[in-house]
Structure 1
Amino acid sequence: MAEPFTTLTAIAAPLDLHNVDTDQIMPARFMRRPRDERYASYGFHDLRFAPDGTPRPDFVLNRPPFDRAGILVAGRNFGVGSSREAAVYALLALGIRCVVAEGFGDIFFGNSLKNGLLPVRLPGATVDALRAQVAAAPGMALTVDLARERLETPAGEGHDFSIPPFARDCLLRGLDEIGLTFTLLPEIEAFEAARERGNPPRPPLQA
């Protein structure tokens, strides 16, 4: 799991593309590659690089200061298509910790929350306006406060968003589902010990 996600202030990059699917984020031919220092080069590979391997100057993440972005302001329907956690891994390898969009593919949305990437849903008109702002002011930083579920611009303009409570708690604590299970290890061990003695504790009665 990634580091706890509490408040992120980072350069925002405008990705003025709609219906970006997971194969565009992480082409299938790279899926078996190890998550090593080369992993960032796979993210958006066919959008970022020409067939001869040279960077495409028109792709936003190839241009400074957007190449240092930690937040991506995307178009509609980001992360649609096939299920692959590697799409989330590629974004994280690129330094992206938050994607702002009008909507996300359902599986991508869930994979993001489980792996430390925050998907922020906002109304389409709001996302379009944010994308235009960060495009017009390269290097502009946005602040995402997960505890308050609020995104703010440098001018103080605020936009509220919502994350499922369980996923929000895990992100704030830097835990995935396995990590959360380990936090309950003393209770699990106590239950197992009681069961071996033939006296497992009864679960609490449901109201």
Structure 2
Amino acid sequence: MKAFTTLTSTAAALTHHDRLMANVDTDMIIPKQFLKTTEREGLSQGLFYELKTRADGSPDPDFVLNKPAFQSAGILIAGENFGCGSSREHAPWALLDQGITCVIAPSFADIFHNNCYKNGILPIALPYEVCAALAEQAGGANHKFTVDLERQIITSPDGEEIHFDVDEGRKASLLEGLDDIGLTLTAEETIATFEKGRKATTPWLEPATS
């Protein structure tokens, strides 16, 4: 997993009728027809497919990620309960394949929230009013934001610094680029010592050999 330290990138806001989109579920993030693979590459073609594609299959120029200024956005701003619905891990995979490594929203569905950390995406929860203000700046002439995980600070285009909270354990794992397996392997020597001691004291627990 790639470490997350500091990100300076364009931010794109998901809006509907001048309000940040709430309850964006995982089927909206990546529809079920794109779940036929376990490969993580190429999933961006299905990201927000029904939002970014017209009925005839052509790109909708009004969708934010189809606009030239936001096609390389690394930050996504959305409304409440982002990532609700099914537990599909393809949702964070599709965001990553698009290049999005930070999502800012007032709240997240629990499973999606956990899957973000496991895949190197930083989910930041801020009050709706703050998210809306950031989205408004993202739509201005300067779309560049900086997210500093070590300092837990978002710097907006106008220079304002916004603090965000993050679990210390999650923060450490992201800074070091450790998913659950990587985190377990940091204790590899301790595990090996335990297994060696167990084999010596309780040999009957070892699998039989032919």
For 1:122-133, list aligned pairs within 5 A. Answer: 122-133=126-137
Are residue 151 (structure 1) and residue 150 (structure 2) matched? no
2-structure distance, mates of 1:174, 1:34: 21
TM-score, normalised to structure 1, is 0.90
Aligned twin of 1:204: none
The Cα shift of 1:23 comes to: 0.5
Distance apart, 1:196 and its partner CA = 2.0
TM-aligned CA deviation for residue 51 of structure 1: 3.0
CA contact (8 A) 1:114 1:167 kept: no
2:12 aligned partner, one-letter code: A
The answer on 1:8 being equivalent to 2:11 is no
The equivalent position to 1:170 in structure 2, one of 168, 173, 176, is: 173
Identical counterparts, % of pairs: 47
Q: Which structure 2 residue ranges, 5 or more long, are not aligned?
A: 16-20, 203-210
**Residue among 63, 73, 76 paired with 2:77:** 73
What is the DSSP-based 3-state SS (H/G/I as helix, E as strand, rest coil) of the residue aligned with 2:138? helix
Change (3 A) 1:36 1:81: closer
How many residue pairs match? The answer is 197
Q: Quick one: structure 1 residues 53 and 38, their matched pair in 2 at CA, closer, same or farther if it must change by over 3 Å? A: farther
Q: State the Cα RMSD in Å.
A: 1.5
Please, which of 24, 27, 33 is the counterpart of residue 29 of structure 1?
Answer: 33
AA matched with 1:13:
A
Note the residue ranges of structure 1 that are not aligned, 5 or more in a row. Answer: 200-207
CA deviations on 1:18-56 (whole Å, 9 max, x unpaired) are: 221111001112112242543110111111112332111
Is the contact made by 2:40 and 2:97 (CA closer than 8 Å) also made in structure 1? no
* Counterpart residue number, 1:205: none
Alignment partner for residue 56 of structure 1, among 57, 60, 63?
Answer: 60
Q: Distance in 2 between matches of 1:176 and 1:37?
A: 18
CA distance in 2, matches of 1:103, 1:144: 18
- Alpha-carbon distance between aligned partners in 1 of 2:110 and 2:40, rounded to the nearest angstrom: 27
Counterpart position of 2:18: none
Letter in 1 for 2:45: S
Query: 26-35 or 183-192, which moves further after superposition?
Result: 26-35
TM-score, length basis structure 2: 0.89
Amino acid at match of 1:158: E
Q: Secondary structure at the match of 1:136?
A: coil
